[in-house]
Amino acid sequence: SYELTQSLSVSVALGQTARITCGGNNIGSKNVHWYQQKPGQAPVLVIYRDTNRPSGIPERFSGSNSGNTATLTISRAQVGDEADYYCQVWDSSTGVFGTGTKVTVL
């Protein structure tokens, strides 16, 4: 089965840039989607199809995908961006989530 690996945690200073990576075998050949989950809440889609932002998601959120790594970038990080972030792909008619990354804004 396909596996997605994320760093356990990422810390970023207020106003700086956070990069969250999602590793998978030849993930660049797949569409990667990203979700933000705050404590006690359902996940929220922040990026779909590698680079696309749903309506209502700030431009500070961006994505890229190449080779064996997909990246979610949060620019000008705010306290409100503190959350768990999950990548997700579709593989062999199965949804696959990454292990999740906790983002802390210092």
Tokens of 28: 């660049």
Separation CA 55–CA 44 (nearest Å)? 12
Tokens of 70: 């997909």
Complex with other proteins: residue 17 or 104, whichever CB lies closer: 104
- What is the total count of residues that contact other proteins (CB under 8 A)? 26
Separation CA 66–CA 82 (nearest Å)? 26
Query: Among 68, 29, 32, which Cα is nearest to 51's?
Result: 32
Helix, coil or strand: residue 19: strand
* Nearest distance from C-beta of residue 60 to other proteins, angstroms: 20
Complex with other proteins: residue 11 or 51, whichever CB lies closer: 51
Residues 68-87, mask of contacts with other proteins (x by CB under 8 A): ------------------x-
Q: What are the residues binding other proteins (CB under 8 A)?
A: 1, 30-31, 33, 35, 37, 41-45, 48-49, 54, 86, 88-90, 93-100
